[in-house]
Chain A
């Protein structure tokens, strides 16, 4: 088995193995597609799902000798292989984006200059990102960067990061507006929620500690210092409630994982081809 997966001895043999592997895979996929009907495909998908889950679960629960069992040595290569396979899916979302914006530009739909801007930004980041990756400056960086590295820095630190931060910082305004317009003490539960929110909000900031700084830390009333009260709410009211939710999530996730592992789920990604 280890001889089968040994590295190719020469570059020419490597090229041959790569071509054979590629062509062989395509032929295998073709044969599977032609040979398997809907029931066979469903069966194959169920078997692959089951074996993938069984591998990881079994390696963990199977008894060990000298801290390993017969599957332990396979964990690292299989995990790396699955991670690398997952990396190839990066194009899925990008293909979708390019399709949508490409149609906008090709058909000159309203707002097509924005779609063109999307492509310009996409290609600029791709080109200068890869160019900068292949012209590393080392550490310490020189005072004058190569111009392509400079452009990449401007794209990343000058546009990409600020745009993302600014977009998410808009939430501060929305939460202020929503707090004023929508947070109403209509019920006792809402009032409880609001009081807890006030105490935690003040307890987390220096002004809260300042407001109740008159209560000595050693006095029995120190519990009512805002920062102490806020910590107490987070540790002894919020924490057990969150733990209850964690237990609920744990059981639900276990049930869901079992259903997925045993291919009992039905839905968009699990249903058979029509």
Chain B
């Protein structure tokens, strides 16, 4: 039985060429980038939790920022990382960047940290450092919990971490005041929570792409996570909190209209579907 060609306005509406949809989306995005309509962004409780967790890090401990992301999620995780680094510099918390799963992220995050550090006159090795990409995931975390200098060995610039001034006295997990996981990959949070936060009580906060964030609300509810940034929205909220509106705020301005477009498209598609539904027996050959 062959399918009848679309007839009638509503049937044709359901099968408009995809290029029109692509052009509409591109048009809305370009329009809003060039002529943005700026609306206020209010931080959510989850974002405030991340900021407060950084604020509560004791002076003698450091923050680990685990940047397990790569360029595929950079528009979300890049601004999240930048906002978290800004918060660490503003609140004068020393931090170490590292990466467990995506080798690319550690260089992208390093470039971000270098750029932000110049604004605060922060010195590498004193105020922040980069442990680089470390293979081993769970094995590496178990080793870090016991002996950080041996587990990490060298930093991003191939210098022994034990020679960095900020790493003096940083022996094991008790020297870590907070772990912030910025990721677009599933599975990394479970490792941190199960091997570090749970057994040792190390405070943990996170930043996820919007796709994976809904799956991690249970950990926020149970208190295993102090706070959570959700996609570009969370990054924009954090940028607002640190008074450095940047790319995430710009993205959220555009996001509003793109979402409205998607909703309109879904509504039109459904209207066309219901209006164009054939009566029983019609159109069969």
Binding site for B on A (CB under 8 A): 56, 60, 72, 75-76, 79-80, 82-84, 86-87, 133, 136, 138-141, 156-157, 160-165, 167-169, 172-173, 175-177, 179-181, 183-185, 194, 198, 201-202, 204-210, 227, 231, 234-235, 238-240, 242-243, 245-246
Contact = CB atoms under 8 A, between A and B. Distances in A.
Given A161-B71, A206-B256, A207-B256, A83 B139 contact: yes
Contacts of B270: 183-185
Given A161-B108, A207-B260, A75 B218 contact: no
19 contacts: A76-B142, A76-B150, A80-B140, A80-B151, A83-B136, A86-B139, A140-B118, A157-B111, A164-B70, A165-B75, A168-B72, A168-B73, A177-B18, A181-B18, A181-B269, A184-B269, A198-B266, A205-B233, A238-B217
A117 B139 CA distance: 37
A245 B214 CA distance: 12
A205 B218 contact: no
B136 A82 contact: yes
Contacts of B139: 79-80, 82-83, 86
Given A76-B151, A164-B104, A184-B269, A177 B262 contact: no
Given A206-B252, A207-B39, A242-B215, A79 B142 contact: yes
In this complex, the member of B70, B114, B210, B218 whose beta carbon has the largest number of chain A beta carbons within 10 angstroms is: B218
A183 B140 contact: no
Given A176-B262, A206-B40, A208-B256, 16 more contacts: A80-B140, A83-B140, A161-B71, A161-B104, A165-B75, A179-B266, A180-B21, A184-B270, A185-B270, A201-B262, A202-B259, A204-B210, A204-B259, A207-B39, A239-B218, A243-B221
A164 B72 CA distance: 5
A176 B111 contact: no
Q: Is the interface of A mostly helix, strand, loop or mixed?
A: helix
Given A72-B146, A139-B124, A207 B257 contact: yes
Q: Is the interface of B mostly helix, strand, loop or mixed?
A: helix
B55 interface: no
A243 B146 CA distance: 31
Given A76-B143, A207-B39, A160 B104 contact: yes
A84 to B, nearest CB: 7
Interface in B29-82: 39-42, 44, 70-75
B9 interface: no
Contacts of A60: 199
Interface of B: 14-15, 18, 21-22, 24-25, 39-42, 44, 70-75, 104, 107-108, 111, 114, 118, 124, 134-137, 139-140, 142-143, 145-147, 150-151, 157-158, 199, 210, 214-218, 220-221, 230-231, 233, 252-253, 255-257, 259-263, 265-266, 268-270, 273
B140 A210 contact: no
Nearest to A73: B146
A209 B215 CA distance: 24
A83 B150 CA distance: 13
A98 B44 CA distance: 48
Given A86-B136, A179-B265, A173 B25 contact: yes
Given A161-B108, A202-B259, A205-B256, A133 B143 contact: no
B136 A79 contact: yes
Contacts of A243: 218, 221
A133 B155 CA distance: 12
Nearest to A152: B107
Contact of A198 (B21, B104, B210, B263): B263
A16 B263 CA distance: 71
A82 B41 CA distance: 46
A201 B145 CA distance: 40
A127 B5 CA distance: 56
B135 A83 contact: yes
Nearest to A137: B157
A240 to B, nearest CB: 8
